[in-house]
Amino acid sequence: RKNSIRFFFFFLNHLFPSGKIKGENVLSIVAYSTIIMGNVCVELGCVYKAKKQKMYIKRLFHQTRHIFF
């Protein structure tokens, strides 16, 4: 995740060596940050799903414990 942020700043420097903003640069920045946000959301979603699954397994274990013990 840190790499993508570092790359993003590298990308910004690459686009605006003189600090001037052109229309097509803005477009590519928007596109690129959308991709980064998407990746972060996917990562967070995976973490959330994993946590939910863990809770589900725990609950299942608590429900079935009395059968085995």
* Domain boundary assignment for the chain: 2-68
Q: Cα(46)–Cα(39) distance, rounded to whole angstroms?
A: 11
Exposure string of 10-25, with b = 16+ CB inside 10 Å and e = fewer, is ebeeebeeeeeeeeee
pTM higher than 0.85: no
- How confident is the model at residue 30, as a pLDDT? 78
Burial zone of 36 (CB within 10 Å; 0-12 exposed, 13-18 middle, 19+ buried): middle
Average predicted confidence (pLDDT) for the chain: 73
Report the candidate in 36, 44, 7, 48 with the shortest Cα–Cα distance to residue 15. 7
Q: Is pLDDT of 66 > 70? A: no
